[in-house]
Every structure is written in C-alpha cells, then in structure tokens.
Structure 1
Amino acid sequence: MKLLTLGINHHTAPVDVREKVAFDPEYLQEALHDLRQHLSGVSQSGLPEATILSTCNRTELYCAANDADSATLLHSATFDWLAKSQQLAPSSLEPHIYSLPQSDAVRHAFRVACGLDSMVLGETQILGQMKDAVRTANQAGALGTYLNQLFQKTFAVAKEVRGSTEIGAHSISMAAAAVRLSERIFEKIAEQRVLFIGAGDMISLCATHFVARRPKQVAIANRTIERGQELADAIASQNVEAESFKLSDLPSRLHEFDIIVSCTASSLPIIGLGMVESALKQRRRKPMVMIDLAVPRDCEPEIARLNDIYLYTVDDLGVMIQTGTSMRHAAVSQAEAIIEDRVGNFMHWLNGRNTVPLIQDLQQHGERLRQIELERAMKRLMRGDDPQDVLNAMAQGLTNKFLHGSLHTLQHSNGAERDSLIKLLPKLFSTHSSAYSHTYHHAEQDSSKHTNDTSDKNDL
C-alpha cells in the first residue's frame, strides 16, 4: 500500500499561484472521480482512494494506491493530473509542489488538522475544512479502508492535541487581523460603513469581529439574498444597522462603503478595476479598505495600484499574524511529540494491513488441508473403520501436511537463511522447547565459525 500527499500551500507559493490550483467546491466530486480514474494505472487492485483538500491557503491531494510500482510512479501520476486538471504547465507548478509519501503523508495530515501547518498557528477552521473534504470524498465513493482510517485517526489526534496542549491559546485569527488592518487606515471603525461580500463561515467570523467595534452600518452582498439576510438579521439583533442585497447590485452600491471584506467561492474576480475606479469617483477620492480573503481572489490585483485604495490579501494578513504567534510556540513541541507517537501507531497498523493477503492465503491453505483430511476420514467412517483409528489418522495427516512446507524449507536451507529460519519458526509455531534452544545455540556457533560456508552439513 502506497500513501501520498501532494500539494501546494502558503509556505510554498504566493496567492497568485495558489488561486490557479484551487478547486471549485461544486465540482470537487467530479474532480475526485477523474483523479481516481487517472491513478488507476498505478494500482492493480481496484481504483485508488483519494481526497482533495482545497482552501484559501492550500490545495492538497491525499491518495492511497494498492500495488503501486513505486512512490515515484504515484507521485508522477498525481502531479500530472493536477497540472492537467488545472490547465497549468508542469514547469510553472513544480517549484511550489511538495510530495510526501508514507509516514510523511500521515505526519502532515496530523499537523494540518492540529493547526501546526496553518498561517494562523493553532487555528481551528482547517479542521472543519478537512472534515468537509473527507465528507465530500466519502459521498463521491473515493474513500476506502486506508484513507478512512487515516482521517479518523487524524481527527482523533487533533482532538487530543487541542485538549492536552495550549496550541490554540492566544490565537490571532484572520478576522482579527482584518480588523487591525482596517484600523490602520480608519482610526475608528465605529464611524465607517462595512460591506461583507459572501455569507460563508469566514465572513460570519469577520462580521463578529467588526460588529464588536460597532460600525455605523453593515451590509451583506451575496449571490442568494436569503442567506445574506440571515447574517444581516443576526447583526441587527446586536443593535447594529444591517441590510442585505444581491451581488448583482454591487457595482451600483460599492461606493457607499468604506471597508469591504470579501470571501466567496467564485472562480473569477467579482470586483474589477473599472468598478472600483467608478466607486472612487463617486466617493470623491475618499479612501477604501478592501480585504480579499478569497482564493481564487475576488478582487482584480490591478486594483492595488489605485490611489486611495488599500487592498490586502490573505498573504498580507498572514504577515501580520506571524508577529503574534510567539505565545503559542511553547505548545508546539508538546504537540509535535504527540503527533510523532501517533504516526508510529498508524504506520504499525498500516504495515500490519500489508500482511492481510498473506494471512488470508494461509487461512485458505489451512482450510483446504482440513477439507482433504475430513473427506478422507468421512470415507473411512462410512466403510466402518474404527472411529478412534480414523481420528488418530486425521490428526496425524493434518499435522504432517501443516508442517511439511516449513520442514522442507528448513531442511533445504543453509547459511544465513537457515539461521533466520531457526530463529523465526519457533515464534511462528510458539515452541520454546529445549531442543529448539540446543539447535539454535549450535546454529549460532556454526554460523560464527563458518560464515562463508554454503554447504548444508546440518540437515535435519
């Protein structure tokens, strides 16, 4: 079984690269189906398992394939699919890609879920996003024994780390950073009008932080008016004036707002350069703060060149966040120790799964031997033979057949192979007799004296 995590994140690529690799949530199941079909060439035992995690800070492909010829082959197939599916030249993507096989893939999943690999150290949102990704993969039929076990263990480790360390303490969230950036331009948010574009979890979190500053007015622009109105009603219940309007009305209303926070799932920018230039004219050059938390970005990058516009992306917020992480670093080493121990446990389970086919073969072989001896015994009983003689013969036949292969291999082995078998067979058959100890002792002596002797002078 080969495990692989292949991805790109805020550590390896800027936002203008990450947005090109991000997946539209609406087409994630279709992408999973296509990925598994593409990887089927490296697996001889059915379709590989796959999960895609795509957020504003990372796009990661988690894969598990039976009988992959090599980790390199699985990496190549996965990388080729990612570049092709996002219509990118492999040469433009390769410098930003990380590829993590086996235990490294397990360790990475644990660290991501615990918030150790996040832009905001210890943040909890990524755990929910990972659970959503796994749920989508399950609905697409892309999960199997291995990835399902990996992610269940991942969620358990995240719960353990968050419950036994202070990794999430003193967190400086993206939402809090957005407020602080706005306050650099506008001293008092209480005197400003704030527009939120979108109505998802990130916008809801940002709204909570901004509403705490009691802005003059809040509006929600969303594709569906109903969901935007729900958020507006929740804000209004806190005695802050709030309304909602359709996203299609944005061009005619953008100029009304001083602070714009946007986070949608649109694959194309929804705020263009011309729209902002028009808004600035109507505002008579009064400055605007625009915080774009979306990946792909909601705002055209060229907007940042306009005077009186202060445009910030998730990477800009990340720089601010990193300055406030020192209080959480003390918990990192404790979290890493927990993760390392749990990685060992998972790899032990995974390696144990590799023996399942062998165990099944042994069980089937034993069943065939049992059937042969049972049929022979039944025939003798039907002939009227003494039942005790029949039972003794059946027991003797089973014993001889069961031991035949091992004894034959031992008798025809020599040198290092013979020494290994002498050590191994007693463990397999749970024997600890003095005869074994005597044989092993002499085998050790013989091995030390004749390490280069390939003859078999001690046939049993």
Structure 2
Amino acid sequence: MAVWALGLNHTTAPLDLRGRFAFALDQIAPTLQSLRRTVGSQGHPPVEAAILSTCNRTEIYCAAEHPALEHTVGWLAESGGVSPALLRSHAYTLSDDQAARHAFRVAAGLDSMVLGEAQILGQMKDAVRAAETAGALGTTLNQLFQRSFAVAKEVRTTTEIGAHSISMAAAAVRLASQLFEDLRETRVLFVGAGEMIDLAVTHFAARAPKKIAIANRTLERGESLAGRFGGEAMRLADLPGRLAEFDIVISCTASTLPLIGLGAVERALKARRHRPMFMVDLAVPRDIEPEVRQLEDIYLYTVDDLAHVVRQGEASRQAAVAQAETIIDAGVRSFMHWMDQRANVPLIQQLQAQTDEWRQAELARARKLLARGDDVDAVLEALSRGLTQKLLHGALAELHAGDAEARQQTAAAVSRLFLRKER
C-alpha cells in the first residue's frame, strides 16, 4: 500500500495562487469524486482520498495499492487552471513516511503560520468527516488521520507548543490598536459568520468597541453570532451602502469572488471624509479586491500580511518544538510498522481461507465415519493425521525440490516456522 500527499501552503505559494485551489466544505464530496475518477481512469485501483483546505493551505492525501502522485498533480493543476509545472514550483509532494510525518506535524500545529495553533486540528477533523461522508476514506487514510489526532493530542498535553500562541484574530486586534488610539471608540464590521469570524469577534469584543455588526449571507446565522456579543446583524446585500459606518472591517467568507470592491470602498471613504479604515481579509480566495490596498486612508491586511505578527514569540517555544518532533517521530515509526503489517494481510487471509477449507474437509470426513459407527478414537486419529499431512505437504514438497541452495533456504524457513519451541 502506498500513501502520498500533495499540497501548497503559506510558505510555498502566494495568496492569489492558493485561492485557485481553495475548496469549501460543500465542494469536497464532488471534488473527491472527480479526483478518484481521474486517478482511477489511469488504470489504478480505487484511491482513498481526503482534501484539507484552509486559508493557509490546500493539501490532498491519498492511499492506494500503487502510488499515483503524478496523476494527482495533473488533476489538481487542471482544477486550478494552471500548468502542472507552475503547480510543482509552488507545491510539495510527499510519500509514505514523509507524508505521514507531514500530516502529524500539521495536526499538531507545527506547520501552521501560528505555531501551535489549535484551529487546524478541527479543520483536519472536518476534512476527514467530509471524506468519510463522500465514501473516499478507506482503512489506510483513516488510520493515518486517527493517529494524527492522537499525536496532536499528546503534543498539546505534554509540551508547551501552544503556550502564548498569537492567533490570526489576536494579530488583527494588535494591528488595529496601532492605528486607532482607543478601540472603544471604533465601529467594527465582520463579514461572514464562520469559525474564523467567530474567533475574531471574540477578540475584538474583549476591547468593547462602540459597535459590532455581522454581515452574512444567511441572516439567521448572522443574528445568532451578533446576539452573543450585543451586536447587529445585516444582510450582505446591504454591505456597500453601509460600509462607510465602520472603522474596522474583518472579512472571511467562502465566496469565490470578492464581496467588497474598489468602487464601494472609494464611496465609503468619500462619505467618511477620508477618515482611515482598517481592513483585514482573512479569506482565500480574497473577499476584498486587492486594488483597495492602493487607496489612501485604507490599511488592508491579508492572511499573509499577518505572518510576522503571529510569529513573534516563537523562539521561546523551540524547546517545545523539539519535544513535539520526538513524539511525531515515534508516531511515524508506529504508523509505518502498521503499514508494513498491512502488506501481509492478503497472504494471511489466503492462509486462513486455505486452512479453513482443509479443516472443513476433514471434519466432513470424520462426521461420515462417525455416522457409520467407526470407533471415535480411530476417527480422531484420522482427523488429526489428515490435517497434519495437509499442513506439511507443501513444506515437504519444497524440501525435495530445487537445487541444493534452494533446499537449504527452504530447510531454514521450515525450521523457523515449524520447529519453534514454546517458551
């Protein structure tokens, strides 16, 4: 069995390229079906597959009897509308133990922009559930991910990897504080109502801004989030006309097209008489047109712009990283040992089926002898002799076949298998 991974993340690919390969959770099932059809059409057995897609990474994990890494690269490049060569220049490809090591490091937060952050573990669990629902998760990948979760739990409970970790939301608050003297005098708009926005609202609400509003495609969900913080909910359709009311805009949706365009921001600035606006676009693909950054009085940050802020304090956690890597090394060795054992499963199944066939045949013969009144001890003797002869027949035949060297190797194997002394 082979395992492989293909991915690109915040360290290997620019934001706009990552946006081409972002998959919303409701897209995962048909996307996985497309991947499995494409790789399967190349003459390979059915492929196990899972896709992890976040604002910082898109990764494909696969398992099959034979590796199909190049076909996977070709499929992902086509889905993103780029050439395979361009994708390879920004992607990483990993096989077997290296793929397992990467999965374990991702789950433990060692490969995140925010070292030790816990959100990626939940996102990975969502990806596994989506793959399972789509029928794309087999025994091997399930084992890989379950072990990833176990390793991540051990890392978080036995090391200080997550201590003093600065989240993306906390970094946004820190940057906003540098622009506005007192966040209590600001009006904050959040676009979206997902997990990232929930976290961002929590951080900003702690600074008690003058106003909080949630703009979301589904008003009910926006109202639910806004209600927790005493905020207002609004529809996305109302966003352009009300943008000028807000000093801070934090956006993170699953939209495939920008929701906040250059024209809308220009009109908002004019209405605000060019009072500054602080904007953070946490979405991949972007929610805010990149040209907005060029406007005076606009301070626009993307997920990549926040990198240097969230990396502060990482040096103090390097000892924890070393501890975490040791735990991960042990996890990788354990997984690869399991993989090696899995390679013998078909042979074990064949042996069990063969011996069961012999057992049933000897039992049937014994029952016939007993039914006609033969002596029980004689029947049991014949049963045991018949089973023994069947079990030894192949080994004895091999001991008499082949040249001297082959017979010597067979003799050693037979001695190892049949002449072991009970301890």
Q: TM-score range by the shorter chain?
A: over 0.9
Deviation at 1:387, TM superposition (A): 4.2
Q: Does 1:429 align with 2:418?
A: yes
Deviation at 1:328, TM superposition (A): 1.8
Aligned equivalents of 2:404, 2:7: Cα separation in 1: 47
Counterparts in 2 of 1:430 and 1:191: CA distance versus 1, 3 Å: farther
The 8 Å contact of residues 24 and 267 in structure 1, kept in 2 or not, is answered as no
Q: Does 1:370 align with 2:359?
A: yes
Aligned equivalents of 1:7, 1:31: Cα separation in 2: 15
- 1:156-176 deviation digits (Å, cap 9, x = unpaired): 111111111111101111111
SS at match of 1:27: helix
1:438 matched residue in structure 2: none
What amino acid maps onto 2:98 in structure 1?
D
Deviation at 1:273, TM superposition (A): 1.0
2:240 matched residue in structure 1: 251
**TM-score normalised by length of structure 2:** 0.94
1:53 matched residue in structure 2: 52
Aligned equivalents of 2:307, 2:284: Cα separation in 1: 14
What amino acid maps onto 1:326 in structure 2?
A
Stretches of structure 2 that go unaligned for 5 or more consecutive residues are: none
- 1:33-53 deviation digits (Å, cap 9, x = unpaired): 2212222246765x3211111
2:324 matched residue in structure 1: 335
The 8 Å contact of residues 25 and 130 in structure 2, kept in 1 or not, is answered as no
Stretches of structure 1 that go unaligned for 5 or more consecutive residues are: 237-241, 434-460
2:267 matched residue in structure 1: 278
Counterparts in 2 of 1:198 and 1:393: CA distance versus 1, 3 Å: same
Aligned equivalents of 1:363, 1:402: Cα separation in 2: 12
Q: Does 1:299 align with 2:288?
A: yes
Deviation at 1:256, TM superposition (A): 1.3
Aligned equivalents of 1:350, 1:22: Cα separation in 2: 31
Worse-matched range after superposition: 161-170 or 321-330: 321-330
What amino acid maps onto 2:47 in structure 1?
P
Aligned equivalents of 1:230, 1:370: Cα separation in 2: 65
Deviation at 1:351, TM superposition (A): 1.4
Deviation at 1:190, TM superposition (A): 1.8
1:449 matched residue in structure 2: none
Deviation at 1:380, TM superposition (A): 4.7
The 8 Å contact of residues 279 and 300 in structure 2, kept in 1 or not, is answered as yes
Counterparts in 2 of 1:245 and 1:261: CA distance versus 1, 3 Å: same
1:154 matched residue in structure 2: 148
The 8 Å contact of residues 170 and 327 in structure 1, kept in 2 or not, is answered as no
Deviation at 1:86, TM superposition (A): 2.5
Q: Does 1:82 align with 2:64?
A: no
1:179-328 map, 5 Å: 179-236=173-230, 242-328=231-317
Deviation at 1:115, TM superposition (A): 0.3
Aligned equivalents of 2:211, 2:109: Cα separation in 1: 34
Worse-matched range after superposition: 144-153 or 113-122: 144-153
Worse-matched range after superposition: 276-285 or 86-95: 86-95
Counterparts in 2 of 1:415 and 1:312: CA distance versus 1, 3 Å: farther
SS at match of 2:94: strand
Deviation at 1:187, TM superposition (A): 2.3
Q: Does 1:106 align with 2:95?
A: no
The 8 Å contact of residues 22 and 295 in structure 1, kept in 2 or not, is answered as yes
1:62 matched residue in structure 2: 61
1:345 matched residue in structure 2: 334
What amino acid maps onto 2:353 in structure 1?
Q
The 8 Å contact of residues 49 and 137 in structure 2, kept in 1 or not, is answered as yes
The 8 Å contact of residues 198 and 223 in structure 1, kept in 2 or not, is answered as yes
Deviation at 1:95, TM superposition (A): 0.6
- 1:345-403 deviation digits (Å, cap 9, x = unpaired): 11111211111110111112212323343444445555655443443333223212211
Counterparts in 2 of 1:432 and 1:422: CA distance versus 1, 3 Å: farther
What amino acid maps onto 2:268 in structure 1?
A
Aligned equivalents of 2:43, 2:318: Cα separation in 1: 41
What amino acid maps onto 1:96 in structure 2?
H
1:447 matched residue in structure 2: none
1:169-180 map, 5 Å: 169-180=163-174
Q: Does 1:145 align with 2:139?
A: yes
Aligned equivalents of 1:424, 1:183: Cα separation in 2: 73
Counterparts in 2 of 1:397 and 1:216: CA distance versus 1, 3 Å: same
What amino acid maps onto 1:168 in structure 2?
G
Q: Which has the higher relative contact order, 1 or 2, with Cα contacts under 8 A spaced 6 or more apart? A: 2
1:27 matched residue in structure 2: 27
1:455 matched residue in structure 2: none
